[in-house]
Amino acid sequence: MRLTRYKLHFHVYRYILSYLLIGCFMLCGLVSFGQLRVSYLDKGKNELRKNNYVGAIEYLNYAIKQNDFYTSYFLRGVAKYSLGDYLGAENDYTECINRAPFHEDAILYRAVSRDRQFDFERALQDYSKAQELDSTDWRIYLNRSTLNLFLQNFELVVEDCNKALELKSKGEGAFVIRGMARTQLQQYD
């Protein structure tokens, strides 16, 4: 009788132990799967830092397949822009904005991508939207002033350059762009 009770306890403990081990393996699998996602994103970032844009896109494609984090789309947009694929970059920035509507950098970078494609109206809309989200980012004003210089909106150029210089006093580019606009307005003071 005693031996049977011992066998019964042994089987119960073995049964419980097997479920605990299975649970532990499943948990370890989920953790490593999560690390795999992060590693593709991290590898994509590392490739971007090395200016290997094609390699970055490959890793970021894997990261996007495994999850839909807005960061992966944003970084892939940076890589595509760097390769001169402005339409692809615009599409990735748009996906990023769809997932994170207040991502000011994605809106700013999409504006620059649209600017490079000569889609000036939508670029100006994006610059304005980025400015609404962060009115302290001098890059918005400087990029918008460059676009307005091309469109010959010289008074707006001067306003944006003044704001960019107010936010970043050592903005050499803003001085040059503002000087070009003032020359066209014949403001020589």
Would you say residue 178 lies in a domain?
no
C-beta separation of 107 from 78 below 8 A: no
Within-domain flag for 169 = no
pLDDT at 36: 46
Within-domain flag for 110: no
Angle of CA points 139, 145, 150, to nearest 5° = 135
State the amino acid at position 80 in one-letter form.
Answer: K
* pLDDT score, position 26: 46
Residue 159 lies in a domain: no
CB burial string 19-56: b at 16+ within 10 A, e below: eeeeeeeeeeeeeeeeeebeebbebbbebbeeeebebb
Question: Per the domain annotation, does 185 fall within a domain?
Answer: no
Residue 21, domain member (yes or no):
yes
In a domain, 132, yes or no: no
CA distance 165 to 153: 18
What's the confidence (pLDDT) of residue 11? 45
Q: Is residue 167 in a domain?
A: no
The phi and psi torsions of 17 (rounded to 5 degrees) equal -60, -40
For the chain, 189 residues long, the average pLDDT of each consecutive 10-residue run is: 48 46 47 54 94 96 88 96 97 96 95 96 96 93 94 95 89 88 84
Q: What integer pLDDT is reported at residue 22 of this predicted model? A: 53
State pTM to two decimals: 0.76
How many domains is the chain partitioned into structurally?
Answer: 1
Largest CA distance in the chain: 109
Q: What is the CATH number of the domain that holds 42?
A: 1.25.40.10
- Domain region containing 10: 2-103
Give the whole-angstrom CA distance, residue 112 versus residue 102.
17
pLDDT at site 136: 93
